[in-house]
Structure formats: structure tokens, C-alpha cells
Amino acid sequence: MLRIAFQAVFLLVVAIFLLYLWETATDNLRRLGIRTDFRYLRQPAGFAVPDSDFRSSQSLFDAVLVGMQNTAKVALLGIVLATVLGVLVGVARLSSNWLVRRAAAAYVEAFRNVPVLIIIIFFWLGIFLRLPPISRATEILDLVVVSNRGLVVPWFEKVGSGAAFGVVALVGLLLAAAAWLWRTRVFDRTGAAHHRVLWAGGVLLAVLAVGFFATGRPWVFQTPERGELATAGGFRLSPEYAALLLGLTIYTASHIAEIVRGSILSVPRGQSEAANAVGLSGFQRMRHVVLPQAFRISVPPVANQYLNLVKNSSLGVAVSYYEVTKITQVSISQAAPAVQAILVLMAVYLLFSLSIALVTNVINRRLTLKGR
Amino acid sequence: MATRVDTLEPVPAPERPPERRLPPRDWARENLFGTWFDTVLTVVFALVVAWLLYRVGKFALVDARWEIIERNITNLMVSGFPREELWRVWAALLVLAASLGFGAGALAATRRREVEEGRGAPPQRASALRRAGPILLLVAVLLWFAQSLQATLLTVAVGLLGIGAYLLGRRVSLRATRAALVVLAGIALAFAVVVAFGGVGWHDWGGFMLTVFLAVGGILLSFPFGVLLALGRRSSLPAVRVVCVAYIELFRGVPLIAVLFMSAFMIGFLLPPGVDRPSLVVRALIGLVLFTSAYVAEIVRGGLQGVPAGQVEAAQALGLSPLRITTRIVLPQALRSVIPGLVGQFISLYKDTSLVAIIGLTELLSVSQNITKQPDFLAQGLIVETLLFAAFVYWAGAYWMSRESQRLERRLGLGER
């Protein structure tokens, strides 16, 4: 009885506090003549977003969506690159080669202990914006054009219809899945090596290659051409995007490397010794015994780093990369109501965080050993 | 329940194999040129590392124009702090050094006594000079740029006072909680020295001083909230639990900069009419505390979960009230084990204070950007020098703290049951 009474009082106090905040806020806003609803999202934005089709006559709601897209663009690529770099550095920290080991340790200690914001701003102001203008741009191997307008990398240019190729790609995926199932069945029945990744990947690649030429080469690979004032062809990474991406990648990789190292070290030594005893090679020992167990340990902390990377992508605001935080900041300066705009911003990040947490929880549950 | 029999003796630390001292040639063969692949790796890495060292060294020692740092060292440290009141900062540093030294000395004495009485693990050997390495390097660099006899003498005085207080503390021996109280009192007194009696309010604070203030103030204020939230999350009352979980997950799900925007833009609207909006420093601090509390709560929750259920059951059997069980039995054990986690959170907060530059405070990062716009240094690309300097200052502090925290973790782990 007492417990219920206490909880009721507690909820009441919390509710009154929140209600009080809400009432004061709406009162204050009304007195200042600021709107208190979310209909402002339908107003035209009044600003353009660089490197996108967004026009200033489109609504603020659309602007938030574009911002979310840009956040996803930098976060997804950042996660992939940070994982690759982090695993490499983490494994290098355990190398038997003294120089490799020390170099990896120096990398980790140098970047882990510096604010990510400084790394990002350093890349932006200190490197990318100080590169020569396009008229004097450097070309690396005639493939990448580097200037103060960003990096231009070779990319596929669409020349034909992609629809037919899309059908081919779908067929390829289905065939690859079939090959996967077939090899799994062979493995279950006979115990012969399944090689299902090789088989499925090979089938997919073969179908895609055949389909690419059969549908009349819908894409061509184009290297950027340098002009006097602009570059033609290729895919341009703006200095802002490149700085944010590189900063997030390098910083997060230094954290992932520590997790990878810790996970590998935490696999009991008896496992390695047993693998040696049954005559596995060094590579087989890592591939089949150590890494699978280390992977299982490292999933939750690495997922946490992914979440941090998504949240840190909000630092695009400091380098004028138009992800959702920068969009919010600009729209507030363009007379969008601050309170609502910030609430929308927080809701967007909660959406990102919760969806990543959901995915990694599912993965984690499938990986956790049963019955322990 | 596990059926394993708990031994009462502490588990001995796994013995490290004795270090083998190899002659250089054998050492190199073993560590650098073991296989042909190793040899290739060594050569490639040696070339890359040598090139990087050459570029960085040449930049730092030859190409860089450090004049901008030399001329602005006071700006970088305290920004807009009135120069005629700078003695207050030095006085505060002296107070801090005395209290930190005394607390550390008293704690070390207690630890030594514990070891002599057979409780607690012996400390790992590491020379004081090596442990303080990053901080000494930082101080040396700062004094090098300051090129001021007065600042050097004052720094030496601060150092000597700290060492003297440490030696004094060694004779007193205080328990950890008391030592922490001494340090807290020192921090409060140092704060008062700067602010009180016609001192300088925090709206005039800036530079590295503001960075440190926000980090220390942020973690100290977050701690009580975090403990309450963690207890609430572990409460048996569903209503309390739901509210605490909602708070923690909300603030852990959004980036710090969104919380800072919220506290910078929104706090003014949440106050009743007639109440003045607090200064931006206070609003930033509120944002940092709101954000950090959620993380501290999760760290403390980990510690709470680590307290064996038998402890609570034993306390209940003795007839202690729930409040006393929490404050006398659970929290002391839980908090001891979360210290490394809290230090880690403090390091993050210390690095994250750089974000307040985005909402317009002049802490270290924003000063280092602003000084490149001075007429003497405008448009000369000196941002590289200033950002590297700021990065070094952050790095030295964070690296030092993370190394100390690893030491602490090893020691606590060793002393655990």
C-alpha cells in the first residue's frame, strides 16, 4: 500500500514538474509572439543545401529529411571505414613484429586522447581548405583530383537504362542464395568443405558481369577531368564531407582497435593451444578458433562505438556539413522556433540510436551462446 | 546460484615470465625479421614511420611559426579573464596543488599501512617522474611558449607546494573518503579564491581554464544525479524505474551538441517571467551535467550489479533498514569498483568540453581558432599551428589520466575478492 502511494506521489511530482516546464515555456513563447506548434515544418525553408537538389522553396520538413540523409551518408560510410581501419590497427597491436606493434599503439594513443572535434576541424581548416585551387589541383595517378573544392574520385556514370540490369542483379542474388543453400546441404550431408561464401559470391559476380555486358553496359567508369574552374565527371566529396568522414573514421577506429585487441586477448589461451595441438595452421587458428570467439565478445562494445559515431556525426555542424544538426542550426537562425526545432532534432537522433540498438541487439542475441 | 566453492585467499596474480634480455642482434631477428613477411613489414613500416617523423619533426621544429602561440599563450589559457586579476588564478592553482598533494599523500600513507598489515595489494613500481610524464611535458611546453620568468617561478612554487603537501600528507594518513573530502574542499576554496571578494565571475572565464572548470564542475555535479538515477533504475518500484530509464535512454540517445543547443536556446524559455537567463557558461554546464548524469548512472549501475546479492541479504538478516542497506552496504562497495569507469567518463567529458565552442563559449578550441583572425596573423594559414597546440594540450591531459586510470584499474582488480 505504502509502495503504491509512494509511486503515485513520485509520478505526480514528475508530472507536475514537466507540466510546469511546458506551461512556462508555452507562456513565455506566446508572450514573445513565437508559435508553439509544429506547423512551422510546412513553411518554406528559405535556405539551400549545398551538394543536393534541395531548393530553398521546399519545406523545412523536407530539409530535415535531407539532413537525415546526409547524416546517414556520413555515418554509414564512416562505420564501414572505421571498422576496417580499427580491425587492422587492433590486429596490428598484437603483431609479433615490434615496429608494427609500436606504430599501431602510437596511432591509438595519439587519436584516442584528442577531442574528435579538433580532428575534424583540423582536417577541414588545416588540410582540405588549404589545398591548392582547381586550376593548380594535384592529380593522383590521373584518378583522383585533389583541390580546395574537395576530392573528386572516379565513379560510375550512368549512360543506359538501369532497369534491365536491376532485374539481372535480382536474378543474380536469387542464384547466389540457391548456391549458398546447395553448398550448405552438401556440407550437412557429406561434411565436405562448403566454401559457401566463395560459391555464392562467385555466382553473383558472374551473373552481374554477364548481365552488365548483356544489358549494353548501363554504366561507364569515369575518371574526373580537371578544368580551369571545375572538374567534370567522377564523384565529388566536398571538403566538409571529407573532413567529417575522415575525422570520425580515424577517431572511432582508434577506439575500435582497442576493443578488437581486448577481445582477441580475452579468448583463453587454451583455445589457441588446442588449435595448435590438432594441427591447425596459424591462419586456420585465427580464422576458425580465435576470431569467431573474439567477434562474439566484441559485438556489444563495437555497437556502442557505432552509436557514438552516429552521434558524433552531429559535429558536422562545426564544419558546415549539412547533416541534420547543421540543418537545425541554420533553420533556427532563419526564424524557425528554436524549442520545436531542437525537439525534432532530438527525436531524429533517438530514432537513429534506437534503430541501431535494435539491429545490434538482434545480432547480439543470435551470437550469444545458449545455455550459459 | 553457482555451486563453486569460494576461496577466501585472494587469487594470486598470474606470474609474468621474467623479461629476457636478448643481445640486439637476436632481439632484432626475433622481433623484426622473423620471416620474410616480417622483414617486408618492417621495411615498409620503417619507411612510412621515418617519413612521418621527418615531416612532423620538420614542421614542428623548422617550418611552424609558433610566434602566434607565444604571443597568445595567456589568451589560450584564460581568454578574456581580466589580466590584473590573474593572481587569483595562480592563488587558486596553489590551493589546488596543496589540497591534491595532501590528499594523495594521505591516501598513499593509508595504502602503505594496509599493505604492511597484509591487506591490499602492493603497488606496482613506477617512478613518479615517469607517471607524471605527460603532465610535466605539458607544463614544460606551456612555459616554453610563455617565456616568462614570473610564470616559471610561480609554476615551480605550485609544484613545490604540491610536493610539500604530499610529504605532509604521508604523515597523516586518511581514509579514501576523507582524502576525497580534502580535495573537494580544496577545489571549492580554489573556486572561491577566483570568484569571491570582488573576484571574476565565470562569465569572464575562458581558455583552458574554462575547459578544466567545465570538466571538473560537470563531473562533480553529475555524480550525485548519476547515483540517484542508477539507484532509481535498480529500484523495485516500477514507476521510479520507468522514469529513470526514460531519462537515461533519452540523454544517451542524443548527441551532446543537441543537449547543448537545448540548454543554450531553451533554458531561457523554461524560467518564469522576471527571472534572468543564466549566463552561457552556466547554461553550458547545465547541458553537460544533464548529459553526463545519464552516462554516470550507467557506470554506477554496473557497480551496483556487481555487489553480490548475499551482501544485501545478510544486511536484511541483520535487520537494517533499506536506506541503511543502500548507504552503508551497497553504495560503498559499488562506488569503489566504479572509480575507473568514472575516470573514463571524466576523460570523455574533458574532451567533449571542446563542443561548447560551437555554442559560442571561448574555451581552448575556440580561442585557438579566434587568434588566427588577429590582424597580425590573419590569413597566413596558422590554424595548423594553433589547432596542433590545442590538440596537444587536450592530449597530454587525457593521456595522463587514461594511464593513471589503467593503473588504478589493475590495482583495484588485484585487490578484489
Mean pLDDT calculated for residue range A294-322: 88
**Residue B142's pLDDT is what?**
86
Mean pLDDT calculated for residue range B166-195: 84
Taking CB atoms and an 8 Å cut-off, how many pairs form between chains A and B?
155
Give B26's pLDDT tier (boundaries 50, 70, 90). Answer: confident
pLDDT at B39 over 60: yes
Average pLDDT across chain A, whole number:
85
Distances (CA, A) of A97 to A106, A280, B24, B45: 14, 22, 15, 10
pLDDT at A118 over 90: yes
Residue A81's Cα: distance from chain center in Å? 8
pLDDT in tens, A315-353: 989 898 889 999 999 888 887 888 888 999 999 999 998
pLDDT at A9 over 80: yes
Give A38's pLDDT tier (boundaries 50, 70, 90). Answer: confident
Mean pLDDT calculated for residue range B241-248: 90
Rounded distance between C-alpha atoms, residue B364 and residue B361, angstroms: 9
Nearest of B364, B42, B273 to residue A114 by alpha carbon:
B364
pLDDT in tens, A85-102: 999 898 888 887 888 888
pLDDT at B394 over 90: yes
Residue A204's Cα: distance from chain center in Å? 25
pLDDT at B392 over 50: yes
Rounded distance between C-alpha atoms, residue A17 and residue A14, angstroms: 5
Alpha-helical (H) ranges within A38-97 are: 60-92
Give B396's pLDDT tier (boundaries 50, 70, 90). Answer: very high
Mean pLDDT calculated for residue range B269-292: 86
**Residue B5's pLDDT is what?**
45
Residue of B nearest to A348 (CA): B254
Nearest of A61, A25, A24, A29 to residue A43 by alpha carbon:
A61
Average pLDDT across chain B, whole number:
83
Distances (CA, A) of B237 to A2, A4, B240, B328: 11, 8, 6, 21
Rounded distance between C-alpha atoms, residue A250 and residue A108, angstroms: 9
State the best of A114, A283, A327 to mutate against chain B, taking most chain B CBs within 10 Å: A114
Nearest of A248, A246, A244, A251 to residue A322 by alpha carbon:
A244
Among B113-127, B265-279, B361-375, B380-394, name the one with the lowest average pLDDT: B113-127
| 8 Å CB contact between A121 and A240 | no
Residue B153, φ and ψ in degrees, nearest 5: -60, -45
Distances (CA, A) of B333 to B120, B313, B398: 15, 15, 27
CB-CB under 8 Å, B255 with A325: yes
- DSSP symbol at A285: I
Q: Is A86 left (phi over 0), alpha (psi -120 to 50) or beta?
A: alpha
Rounded distance between C-alpha atoms, residue A328 and residue A334, angstroms: 10
Closest-CA distance, B315 to chain A, in angstroms, reads 21
Nearest of B369, B387, B392 to residue B79 by alpha carbon:
B369
Give A257's pLDDT tier (boundaries 50, 70, 90). Answer: very high
Nearest of A310, A317, A321, A316 to residue A349 by alpha carbon:
A310
pLDDT at B417 over 70: no
**Residue B385 identity (one-letter amino acid):** E
pLDDT at B53 over 80: yes
Between residues B303 and A161, the one the model is more confident about: B303
CB-hemisphere CA count at 13 Å for B336? 16
In percent, the amount of chain A with pLDDT more than 90 equals 21
Rounded distance between C-alpha atoms, residue B301 and residue B341, angstroms: 11
CB-CB under 8 Å, B357 with A130: no
| 8 Å CB contact between B357 and B369 | yes
Burial B1-27 (b: 16+ CB within 10 A, else e): eeeeeeeeeeeeeeeeeeeeeeeeeee
What is the largest distance, in Å, between two alpha-carbon atoms of chain B? Answer: 78
Rounded distance between C-alpha atoms, residue B417 and residue B407, angstroms: 18
Q: Is A217 left (phi over 0), alpha (psi -120 to 50) or beta?
A: left
Residue A99's Cα: distance from chain center in Å? 31
Give B382's pLDDT tier (boundaries 50, 70, 90). Answer: confident
State the best of B63, B343, B354, B393 to mutate against chain A, taking most chain A CBs within 10 Å: B354
Between residues A25 and B291, the one the model is more confident about: B291
| 8 Å CB contact between A63 and A327 | yes
Give B16's pLDDT tier (boundaries 50, 70, 90). Answer: low
Mean pLDDT calculated for residue range A245-263: 92
CB-CB under 8 Å, A8 with B239: yes
pLDDT at B388 over 80: yes
**Residue B1's pLDDT is what?**
39
pLDDT at B7 over 60: no
pLDDT in tens, A165-221: 788 888 889 999 998 888 888 888 887 777 888 888 998 999 888 888 877 777 777
Among A146-160, A333-347, B90-104, B131-145, name the one with the lowest average pLDDT: A146-160
Between residues B347 and B193, the one the model is more confident about: B347
Cβ contacts of B401 within 8 Å, gap of 6 or more: B343, B346, B347, B350
Rounded distance between C-alpha atoms, residue A193 and residue A187, angstroms: 6
CB-CB under 8 Å, A317 with B257: yes
In percent, the amount of chain A with pLDDT more than 70 equals 96
Give A372's pLDDT tier (boundaries 50, 70, 90). Answer: very low
Give B18's pLDDT tier (boundaries 50, 70, 90). Answer: low
Closest-CA distance, A203 to chain B, in angstroms, reads 33
pLDDT at A247 over 90: yes
Distances (CA, A) of A83 to A192, A252, B117, B300: 32, 8, 49, 29
CB-CB under 8 Å, B254 with A349: yes
Residue A259, φ and ψ in degrees, nearest 5: -65, -45
| Helix or strand holding residue A138 (H, E) | strand A138-140
Rounded distance between C-alpha atoms, residue B390 and residue B350, angstroms: 13
Nearest of A51, A45, A46, A42 to residue A69 by alpha carbon:
A51
Give B121's pLDDT tier (boundaries 50, 70, 90). Answer: low
